[in-house]
Amino acid sequence: MNQTARKISDNYRRAVDRVADAAVNANRDPQSVTIVGVTKYVEPELAEALFQAGCHHLGESRPQVLLAKQEALSDLPIHWHMIGHLQRNKVKRAISNLALVHSLDSIRLAEAIDAAANEQGLTVPVLLEVNISGDDAKHGFQPGELSGQANELQQYKHLRVQGLMGMAGLSADESNVRSQFRMLRELRDSLNEVHPMEAGWSELSMGMSGDFELAIAEGATLVRIGSMLFEGVL
């Protein structure tokens, strides 16, 4: 193993340990939290090193880069996650090999994914992205609109809605971040009662390198960790 691969492997082990500690501190099973390694900062070779270190779920935020990495690493059984904004004109190509789309952020996008999935004979697992920070520049459904939108989404039979995704505001302090994550969990819990989905509302994608422990304390099942895994190699 070269030095870079070793560094990535050490970083990943550290992330796994911290995730497990955070889960145990919250009286949760460490297995209930999946690390999605965000590889948007690196070339395919380093994404491969992360996979070889044991991180089998990888996330990308731009469809074009996702496709390029999928092609470069097509011989590896990677579970690919789309975590960034997906433009409707990119949907057709992007959806063919995705474990989960975290960033379903509008009804129009839902319609486009549903149509493309229908054409390709697929069912696409998705999370609804919610704007929990209140930042106007952020994508996502508004918390207050979500219940009505979830109702509308039931018509799209080629989507499998599995939960919610959110990002805390950049400038928020720790208690603020935590309350944004708590809001996402409470939204999920109430949707689960009002709009039961076939696939359930089991997934909560929240937490990044700087705040994943707070997210796990509030119930995250997927944490999207990028920069921490590539510390010392970028």
Ligand X SMILES: *Cc1c(COP(=O)(O)O)cnc(C)c1O
Minimal distance, residue 93 CB to ligand X, in Å: 20
E strand map for 32-83 = 34-38, 57-60, 79-82
Residues found near ligand X in the complex (CB under 6 A) = 38, 40, 61, 83-84, 167, 208-210, 224-228
Query: H helices within 62-173, ranges in order?
Result: 63-72, 91-94, 107-120, 146-153
User: Which is closer to ligand X, CB of 36 or CB of 116?
Assistant: 36
Minimal distance, residue 59 CB to ligand X, in Å: 7
Task: Name the closest residue to ligand X (Cβ).
Answer: 226
Residue 131 contacts residue 143 (beta carbons within 8 Å): yes
User: Which is closer to ligand X, CB of 69 or CB of 224?
Assistant: 224
Minimal distance, residue 230 CB to ligand X, in Å: 8
User: Which is closer to ligand X, CB of 61 or CB of 133?
Assistant: 61
User: Which is closer to ligand X, CB of 179 or CB of 227?
Assistant: 227
Using a CB cutoff of 8 Å and minimum separation of 24, what contacts does 46-53 make?
46/4, 46/8, 46/230, 46/233, 47/73, 48/73, 48/76, 49/4, 49/5, 49/8, 49/9, 50/8, 50/12, 50/229, 51/76, 51/78, 52/5, 52/9, 53/5, 53/8, 53/9, 53/12, 53/13
Minimal distance, residue 205 CB to ligand X, in Å: 8
Phi, psi at residue 179, to the nearest 5°?
-70, -25
Minimal distance, residue 135 CB to ligand X, in Å: 13
User: Which is closer to ligand X, CB of 147 or CB of 209?
Assistant: 209
